[in-house]
Amino acid sequence: MLLAEHNMSVLALHKRLQEKGVSVNLKSLYRLASSQPLQKLDARIVKPICFVLGVDLSELIALEKPELSLVKLDPVTQARITNLLDKNNQGTITKRERAELERLVDKAEKISLHNARALVEYRRRRADRTEGKGMGPRRRSGKESEAVILA
């Protein structure tokens, strides 16, 4: 986006950087211009890009939290499932309670399935970003941010 706003291609940016005496690998510029989030930035490259484009660093990058949406069973429902399971184990569960337990267990299974799919998709996206860079997926706390170049 930012390059388009300045009517500039990656090649034109590369040429302008060379004119300013900055040697930057063309592949690195294309990588910065992609829509994929980056793991790290080289200030030796970013600073001259900001200078050539006449923008502040905050216009060039944005920090975003990783996209991962996990669902939890609410505590009241979890407590009810536990209570009904105890009754089932003791053999004192009624037909109505058994039907309720089956419905609640079905709800919990759907949540688990949703979370499993979300985790698989999240890891797939992380692997796609690190593929070909000699880096495997790295565990994150979830509180870290990823830099995204606004190209």
Q: pTM for this one? A: 0.45
Name the pLDDT band for 137 (thresholds 50, 70, 90).
very low
CA 37 to chain centre: 8
Sequence ranges of the domains in the chain: 2-65+145-149
CA 44 to chain centre: 26
For residue 60, what pLDDT is reported?
75
For residue 69, what pLDDT is reported?
80
For residue 63, the surrounding DSSP H or E stretch is: strand 61-64
